Structure 1
């Protein structure tokens, strides 16, 4: 997770100030720090932001039984479902990334996520057995879904359960950013559940600065510098972080991460503590963090270098220490 540094709302020499808006969505919170244009209606801005994230939930939530995605997941085998433009866009990108990563990222991983207790279903007390994992894996496979671009439809082949939780928050950040652009807000920092996107800067000319949380940091310790692994200045970029140090469970003396490898059906078991991605928008940054986590530091770094991805791996080291591995693209946007 990423936290933002507190931004003062006190007026500065330019006569402008930073307004902060907050709300709830997707089982987490959202916040926006923005410099509003003269005459802007703050309440209308707040309502507009909430409306944008609410629409993402209505389309892409697996927790809401009436969402467009939930209806697709329940659709009979062999049926085509017409999807809203936003959901179709996100699903199309998720399927592209699944193909490009050779299945390390897979939006149909939902049955495995639920089986291991990290989805809408109740968390198990014990790890599932091999038979249950094999049965869930039989329902997983991004290539099972066909898209009809011309009519914005997706085929439910039967039993496929799509989980877009690894990309919906990022897309929600982008939707809020687009709303602020339409509202002629030129300086803002948008955050949804720790995924961020920035434009412009603060009224004093300084950039928006965010801290990449040190793995294992106390939840909510957003003001303590000793809980920060790296500080990044965002200008016209988005950043997303995936980590395993908050979402896990223990069974039989073994800790199981919420990051499930779709190719094996089991949680990842390498040294990755967290992965941070900087990209032009958050829809691309968000799921890339999941893909990099599953690929691991070696295969993931090779993939990042081939694609020019800005990634920072934080790895578990010896004696409780953490190690960093940054791609050249990440070093370029955030020198050590």
Structure 2
């Protein structure tokens, strides 16, 4: 059965008369991006693909932990005890991410890059290298103790951040979502209010298509899960999904997820197959889908209710089947 999720607020703004859909695509942040926009028949759009790529390149230059000379890379190498001025967008994204860290009780933490690196999911010492070995218990203990003892401090006046020493920022669980929001904002400044943006599977829709229909997308399905399809009208909404099936490695018969629980320093090993969050901001959907995945479906669902999040949890059962759990706020979007 197919179920439909609809936003509560529907804009009266119509697509341009005689509008046509234009499609653009490219690569950034180790993944692909795509944009569909509605343009008036005589509306120039030749500059759009280069403009979109430039926006993404700026995000990489500021927030990539893969680029050694990014602003984030320089922060990670900064002298202990030094205050670092951050670009406005970098500061705002980090501030939001640290807020999610606080509200999730540390289930998500943008300062836990050292743990991500230890498990081979960072830019060096990769799990797919022949000499890779999982970290020892002592290495994890040291990294966790350092994370707890040396917090990053943000100072909004001047947009500065304190590097306490050894902290490795990793914004990979929020940067893709932010990039979706950034591309959407750019398109609006260029006069293209009706569009669908996707970066690495995270999406945001604005306005409608030329026929007046919203941007319909199907929520990501877990392979083998016999669960009813959910179709979402992305009209002023974003959606992001986190799942243990996306990135992982197996060693000596054991499977290690790329999602690390900063509280334990270990890859998650709960019963969640995926978490999808629907939100007005893709950055928020991205960060919260990760935090809820770490928490597991029971604690995650409790926090989703507390935070007012529209979330879908797909839970893997012992017999190999799957069950679905929806937060109250997602149920409110649902129409049979």
Does the pair score TM above 0.5?
Answer: yes
| Unmatched tracts of structure 2, length 5 or more | 1-14
Corresponding residue number in structure 2 for 1:280? 280
The runs of at least 4 aligned residues of structure 1 exceeding 4 Å deviation read 226-229
Contact 2:17/2:40 (<8 A) preserved: no
Does 2:142 align with 1:135? yes
Distance (Å, rounded) in 2 between the aligned partners of 1:302 and 1:254 = 29
Distance (Å, rounded) in 2 between the aligned partners of 1:238 and 1:201 = 14
Taking structure 1 as the reference length, what is the TM-score of the superposition?
0.90
Cα distance change, pair 323–300 in 1 and its aligned pair in 2 (3 A): same
Corresponding residue number in structure 1 for 2:199? 192
Corresponding residue number in structure 1 for 2:69? 66
Distance (Å, rounded) in 1 between the aligned partners of 2:145 and 2:101 = 17
Corresponding residue number in structure 2 for 1:103? 106
Note the C-alpha offset of 1:191. Answer: 0.4
Query: Which of 207, 219, 223 matches 1:212?
Result: 219
Taking structure 2 as the reference length, what is the TM-score of the superposition?
0.90
Distance (Å, rounded) in 2 between the aligned partners of 1:69 and 1:246 = 25
Corresponding residue number in structure 2 for 1:43? 46
Does 2:316 align with 1:309? no
Post-superposition CA distance 1:290-332 (Å, at most 9, x none): 1000111111111111111000001112543221111011122
Corresponding residue number in structure 2 for 1:114? 117
Match runs of 1:198-277 below 5 Å? 198-216=205-223, 229-277=229-277
Cα distance change, pair 146–254 in 1 and its aligned pair in 2 (3 A): same
Post-superposition CA distance 1:188-216 (Å, at most 9, x none): 00001011110011111111111222213
Contact 1:211/1:228 (<8 A) preserved: no
Count residues with an aligned counterpart: 318
Q: Secondary structure at the match of 1:139?
A: helix
Distance (Å, rounded) in 2 between the aligned partners of 1:178 and 1:13 = 18
Corresponding residue number in structure 1 for 2:95? 92
Distance (Å, rounded) in 2 between the aligned partners of 1:123 and 1:16 = 47
Note the C-alpha offset of 1:335. Answer: 3.9
Cα distance change, pair 139–216 in 1 and its aligned pair in 2 (3 A): farther
Post-superposition CA distance 1:173-200 (Å, at most 9, x none): 1110111111111210000101111001
Note the C-alpha offset of 1:102. Answer: 1.2
Distance (Å, rounded) in 2 between the aligned partners of 1:142 and 1:49 = 40
Note the C-alpha offset of 1:101. Answer: 1.1
Cα distance change, pair 210–227 in 1 and its aligned pair in 2 (3 A): farther
Match runs of 1:28-39 below 5 Å? 28-39=31-42
Distance (Å, rounded) in 1 between the aligned partners of 2:304 and 2:331 = 13
Cα distance change, pair 184–108 in 1 and its aligned pair in 2 (3 A): same
Two-structure CA RMSD over aligned residues (Å): 2.1
Does 2:57 align with 1:57? no
Distance (Å, rounded) in 1 between the aligned partners of 2:188 and 2:76 = 33
**316-325 vs 47-56, which moves further:** 316-325
Distance (Å, rounded) in 1 between the aligned partners of 2:333 and 2:53 = 31
**31-40 vs 237-246, which moves further:** 31-40
Corresponding residue number in structure 2 for 1:169? 176
**57-66 vs 316-325, which moves further:** 316-325
Contact 2:18/2:40 (<8 A) preserved: no
